[in-house]
Amino acid sequence: MSLLNNRSTMVLFHDVIGHRSQKVRIVLAEKGIACDFEPIDSSNIPSEIMEVNPSGSLPLLIDRDLSLYRSGLIVEYLDERFPHPPLLPVYPVARAQTRLILNRLENDWAINLDILESPTASKSEKSKSKKLLETNVLNSLSLFDDQPFFRSEEFTVLDAVIIPILFRLSFYGIKLPSSKAANSINEYMERAFNLESFIASKTEEETEQLI
């Protein structure tokens, strides 16, 4: 059977260890969306997936006739198709502010973690990215406050991006300080890692390897 054709349900082709795939799985769990999961070896992407996504990146969402890649676009699509609970603000100004933070997280956090997760990145590239990620996370400590979620009373798309990254820090040797300045982020992580949607999003590989 073709990987992509003859699908009557939504399917997520995902990396069982990658932070971008976990981001989408958290959103699916948070919204209670029914979806089939197909694990793919990121170092051996099937040709069928390359045909619809030449970059070969994961995750890839198939929803009937729609093939959608890039995790940020997938999350926005899911939030628009399944609007409850909303993960992006309704009002344009708040939505724009959220997208500015998403852009910062992408450039300062996510891209560096991509390199750490990449099987083809060199040792020097990974060392540089580790230092950048650690610096950027530490420079973001003031963004965390005492609200239940990231700068919000409710779970948002920002949490879906941030939580998988924070979950991987210790695995890559990045330790957060125990200082007063880091209290809010450490408390945030404790709450986040106990969320039902986070627990549901974890694969066996993540549970076994990233602790």
Higher pLDDT, 120 or 165: 165
- The 10s digit of each residue's pLDDT in 57-104 is 899 999 988 989 999 999 999 999 999 999 999 889 999 999 999 999
Which pLDDT score is estimated for 64? 86
Closest CA to 18 of 206, 207, 209: 206
Give how far Cα 153 sits from Cα of 145, 147, 148, 159, Å: 11, 6, 6, 11
For residue 131 the two structure tokens come to 């230092």
Please state the rounded mean pLDDT for residues 39-62: 85
Task: State yes or no: pLDDT of 200 exceeds 60.
Answer: yes
Task: State yes or no: pLDDT of 32 exceeds 60.
Answer: yes
CA–CA separation, 147 and 199 (whole Å): 20
Task: State yes or no: pLDDT of 43 exceeds 90.
Answer: no
3-class SS of residue 34:
coil
**Sequence ranges of the chain with CATH classification 3.40.30.10:** 11-81
Average pLDDT of the chain? 92
Length of the chain: 211
Higher pLDDT, 163 or 56: 163
Q: Which CATH architecture has domain 11-81?
A: 3-Layer(aba) Sandwich (3.40)
Could you give phi then psi for residue 40, rounded to 5 degrees? -130, 135
Whether 143 contacts 102, CB under 8 Å: no
Which pLDDT score is estimated for 7? 63
CA–CA separation, 82 and 75 (whole Å): 10
Which pLDDT score is estimated for 162? 98
Task: State yes or no: pLDDT of 47 exceeds 50.
Answer: yes
Which pLDDT score is estimated for 83? 93
Which pLDDT score is estimated for 5? 61
Whether 21 contacts 59, CB under 8 Å: yes
Domain at 92-204, CATH class: mainly alpha
Whether 155 contacts 30, CB under 8 Å: yes
Q: Give the global pTM.
A: 0.93
How crowded is the C-beta side of 171, counted as CA atoms within 13 Å?
18
Task: State yes or no: pLDDT of 110 exceeds 90.
Answer: yes
Which pLDDT score is estimated for 1? 39
Whether 88 contacts 157, CB under 8 Å: yes
Which pLDDT score is estimated for 128? 98
**Sequence ranges of the chain with CATH classification 1.20.1050.10:** 92-204
In terms of Cβ atoms closer than 10 Å to its own Cβ (0-12, 13-18, 19+), residue 47 is: exposed
pLDDT bucket at 53, cuts 50 / 70 / 90: confident
Identify whether 86 is preceded by a cis peptide bond (ω within 30 of 0). Answer: no
